[in-house]
Amino acid sequence: MKLIKSENLITKNWSGGRTKELYIFPENKLYENRDFDFRISSATVEVSESTFTSLPNYNRVLMILEGELFIEHINHHSINLKQFDIDEFSGEWETHSKGKVTDFNLIMNKSLNGNIKLRKICGKYNTTKKTNEILVFYCYEGTCFINGELLNTFDVLIIDKNDSFSIEIISEEETNLIESRIIY
């Protein structure tokens, strides 16, 4: 397991707002080089209308954390996303959006499968990790313990692909935890 505290995450500007890289794998890769297996980030969209960066060879999963966003994937589909709604699409699609939001992104090579889920935890929750998965937990609101490791708001916990095992998540208050599973 690897814990990344919120104060150690790097925020950068992009043409429509700010982006915070939560995790990239392999860890020695750069988003700009487009040679990573997957990347997890959170971004703000601070302009009313924007065009998504073209990412051929990647699939994207997007969740809205705050605000509302209308997305149009030209020649594919359109969708209006509200808080915690999810859209999955090809990174090569021409995509336009309207709305100012904070979002959560999983971008992964098309050879991989993955998903994101919101877990509202209050009390105890158990899940399992399989051998061929990498799990990334992002504590969006609240605090929780994952296998004894404390996550505060905006902290990230990565559980690398190795043996399968049980995961115990405990929170004394309602916590919004975003779980990303990337399957190799």
SS (H, E, C) 30-47: CHHHCCCCEEEEEEEECC
| Rounded Cα–Cα distance for residues 176 and 138 (Å) | 9
| Rounded Cα–Cα distance for residues 130 and 140 (Å) | 24
The pair of structure tokens assigned to 16 is 């429509």
pLDDT at 159: 93
The whole-model pTM stands at 0.95
Q: Which CATH superfamily is domain 10-109 in?
A: Jelly Rolls (2.60.120.10)
pLDDT at 180: 98
- Three-state SS across the chain? CEEECHHHCCEEEECCEEEEEEEEECCCCCHHHCCCCEEEEEEEECCCEEECCCCCCEEEEEEEEEECEEEEECCCEEEEECCCCEEEEECCCCEEEECCEEEEEEEEECCCEEEEEEEEEEEEEEEEECCCEEEEEEEEECCEEECCEEECCCCEEEECCCCCEEEEEEEEEEEEEEEEEEEC
| Rounded Cα–Cα distance for residues 132 and 45 (Å) | 33
Q: In CATH, what class is 113-183?
A: mainly beta
pLDDT at 16: 86
pLDDT at 165: 86
Q: Across the 184 residues of the chain, what is the mean pLDDT of every consecutive 10-residue run?
A: 95 90 96 96 96 95 98 98 98 97 98 97 93 96 96 96 86 96 94
The reply to whether domains 10-109 and 113-183 share a CATH topology is yes
pLDDT at 164: 80
Q: Where are the domains of the chain?
A: 10-109, 113-183
pLDDT at 15: 81
pLDDT at 182: 97
